Amino acid sequence: MSARDDENDGQATEREVIQGEIDSTTEETSAPKPGKRGGAHRAPEDEEPAPAAETATTGLGAELAAVRGELEERTRDLQRLMAEFANYRKRVDRDRGAAAEQTTGAVLTALLPVLDDIDRAREHGDLVGPFASVAEQLTAATGKLGLVVFGEKGDPFDPNRHEAVAHQTSADVTEPTCVEVMRRGYTLGERLLRPAMVAVADPE
């Protein structure tokens, strides 16, 4: 082999080395760098797990809706129980008050003949001395219990409160009027214990 051939072989080898370095540099430049966007292909592990997240969110929303529905139902049950208890308390208080008034009315009704005797003694002037003091105390006690007396001469006649035992006509009245009271009447609150016994005068 001549010296020219050796020189040509050396130049060819040198060109091959340079070309190899250029090719290597080009491959490194064109290859996508790890951790950066813009690569030709994305690794499967870089994809977002959207379907799994949406499924979890949907399940949580359904569970929350179920809890809210149960809470609203329990709240309605509690409100209904509270309303029923309030009505029960009102009914018990009303029944207790009615029972107490009925008992008081029974006791006062038993005392009405005694009060009638006191009224007659007062009309005849016999209400004197210690008997007068006892009579006043009894009248005050029955008044505190709610006993109200009615029936006076000159009151308009009320068939719901008066019992007419005599009738007459008079030019002195313009409407049916109580002209004489034989026995006074009594009420306890809105309850009529006894009507007044009266004589009634009608207009002529």
Query: Which residues lie below 8 Å from residue 32, measured CB to CB, with a gap of 6+?
Result: 38, 39, 40
At residue 114, the pLDDT reads 94
At residue 81, the pLDDT reads 93
Residue 153 lies in a domain: yes
Residue 193 lies in a domain: yes
Number of domains in the chain: 1
Residue 52 lies in a domain: no
At residue 126, the pLDDT reads 87
Residue 113 lies in a domain: yes
pLDDT, greater one: 26 or 150? 150
Residue 192 lies in a domain: yes
Mean local confidence (pLDDT), 174-192: 94
pLDDT digits (tens, 9 = 90+) for 59-73: 788 888 888 989 999
Domain containing residue 145: CATH number: 2.30.22.10
At residue 36, the pLDDT reads 44
At residue 201, the pLDDT reads 96
pLDDT of 93 higher than 80: yes
Exposure letters 108-133 (e unless 16+ CB within 10 A, then b): beeebeebeebbeeeeeeebeeeeee
Residue 185 lies in a domain: yes
List Cα–Cα distances, 120 to 83, 149, 166, in angstroms.
54, 15, 20
125 lies in which domain range?
Answer: 73-203
Residue 8 lies in a domain: no
**What does DSSP say about strands 191-194 and 196-203: parallel, antiparallel, or unpaired?**
unpaired
**What does DSSP say about strands 196-203 and 162-170: parallel, antiparallel, or unpaired?**
parallel
Q: Identify any residues that bridge with 20 across adjacent strands, giving them in sequence order.
A: none
Mean local confidence (pLDDT), 4-32: 53
pLDDT band, very low/low/confident/very high, at 27 (cuts 50, 70, 90): low
Residue 97 lies in a domain: yes
